[in-house]
Amino acid sequence: MSILVNKNSKVIVQGITGREGSFHTEQMIEYGTKVVGGVTPGKGGQEHLGVKVFNNVAEAVKETKANASTIFVPARFCKAAIFEAIEAGIKTIVTITEGIPTQDMIAVCQKLKETGATMIGPNCPGITSVDEAKLGIMPGNIFKKGQIGLISRSGTLTYEVVAALTKAHLGQSTCIGIGGDPILGSTFTDLLPLFEADRETKVVIMIGEIGGSDEELAADYIATNMTKPVIAFISGRTAPRGKRMGHAGAIISGGTGTAESKIKALIQAKVPIAETTAEIPNLVVAKLALQK
């Protein structure tokens, strides 16, 4: 078991013939992901990396029965690409692209709400359901199959934590990088219920960062709805106010979005906070021991 994607997911890649699209599709296939086709307007009918390329998502879905898409389309065309996927009936969309205008994402989120489709991203590393499917750009060799679910706002920090878990012989079920933008297709609160319902997952790790109030909202959700233990790490404790730390979402403005506010809310929800990434495996071991 895993969440969102598994070995049976039929995946297409939008922007498959581009530089990033090509490189990562190859890695996804190598990982064992069932990539059934790709989309690049004007290149329909060609074959690329052993799969068929279509002019649009509707044609790709019709012929391949694809139910998931990974998007590498440049930012300025991304809104149209996401709409195309939703309208073609794709239910799970992973958008890797960075730098999509905020108003474009607001329109996308409204469309997702109307149709019930799920999107991870944008500006994210994607999803890996360990040993089943990898949609996105995470390095496949760091994972080990197991019982830990992970949701993170940061890409490289995900790798850092996954590698530390694997080294400590703590395997993962599904790892999701939700992205660093202010407007996201899926937030912690959207994904926690999926891990709660997943039989394989025993512990969930949440990697948050400064900016916004997603961690605080997740704390509320955890306190009232989660039976599985959640462990959290918050990055950016020492970042100054009013400065944007690379991620468009990582900015402390006014009195909101501080690390203190997030940590306080999570502690109130009885979520253990790792002081450093190196502490995370120990906290996981402690939680797993309690379940036995």
Partner 1 sequence: MKLYEYQAKELLVKNNISTPPGGVAESADQAAEIAATTGLPVAIKAQVHVGGRGKAGGIKIAKTEAEVKILAAQILAMKIKGLSVKKVLIEKALEIEKEYYLGIVVDRANRGNTLMFSTVGGVDIEEVARTRPDKIFKFEILNPKQIQNHNFQIPVGNREVHSQVSAIIEKLYDLYLKTDATLVEINPLVKTKDRQFIAADAKIIIDDSALFRHPDLALLAEAAEEDEIEAEAHRRRIAYVRLPGNIGIIGNGAGLVMTTMDEVKRAGGQPASFLDIGGGAKAELVKSCLEILTMDKNIKGIFFNVFGGITRCDEVAQGIIRATQDLNLKIPLVIRLTGTREEEGQKILAQTNLVTAATMQEGAEKIVEYISK
Q: What is the DSSP string of 256-283?
A: BS-HHHHHHHHHHTT--B-SSGGGHHHH
Please report the sign of the dihedral spanned by the C-alpha atoms of residue 279, residue 133, residue 203, residue 266. Answer: positive
Shortest distance, CB of residue 92 to partner 1, whole angstroms? 18
Choose, by CB under 8 A, the member of 8, 45, 255, 292 that binds partner 1: 255
- In angstroms, rounded to a whole number, what is the distance separating the alpha carbons of residues 249 and 287? 30
Tell me, rounded to whole angstroms, the distance of Cα 222 from its chain centroid. Answer: 19
Residues 256-285 binding partner 1 (CB under 8 A) are 275-278
Peptide bond into 122 cis (omega under 30): yes
Of residues 109 and 285, the one with the C-beta less far from partner 1: 109
Any contact of residue 115 with partner 1 (CB under 8 A)?
Answer: no
| CA nearest to 249, candidates 292, 197, 214 | 214
User: Which residue stretch of 10-18, 52-60, 81-89, 209-217 sits at the interface with partner 1 (rule: CB under 8 A)?
Assistant: 209-217
Any contact of residue 159 with partner 1 (CB under 8 A)?
Answer: yes
- In angstroms, rounded to a whole number, what is the distance separating the alpha carbons of residues 212 and 262? 10
The answer to whether residue 247 is catalytic is yes
**Is there a binding annotation on residue 199?**
no
Shortest distance, CB of residue 90 to partner 1, whole angstroms? 20
Choose, by CB under 8 A, the member of 7, 63, 99, 225 that binds partner 1: 99
Any contact of residue 68 with partner 1 (CB under 8 A)?
Answer: no
**Is there a binding annotation on residue 87?**
no
Shortest distance, CB of residue 291 to partner 1, whole angstroms? 28
Any idea of the CA torsion for 103, 109, 113, 116, to the nearest 10 degrees? 150
**Max CA pair span of the chain:** 56
**Is there a binding annotation on residue 227?**
no
| 204 beta partners | 149, 230
Extract the tokens encoding 45: 């009918």
Any contact of residue 82 with partner 1 (CB under 8 A)?
Answer: no
- In angstroms, rounded to a whole number, what is the distance separating the alpha carbons of residues 247 and 163? 22
Active site residues: 247
Residues of this chain that bind partner 1 (CB under 8 A): 75-76, 99-106, 109-110, 125, 137-139, 142, 152-157, 159-160, 163, 180, 182-184, 207, 209-210, 212-214, 217, 235-240, 242-250, 254-255, 275-278
Binding residue ranges for substrate: 159
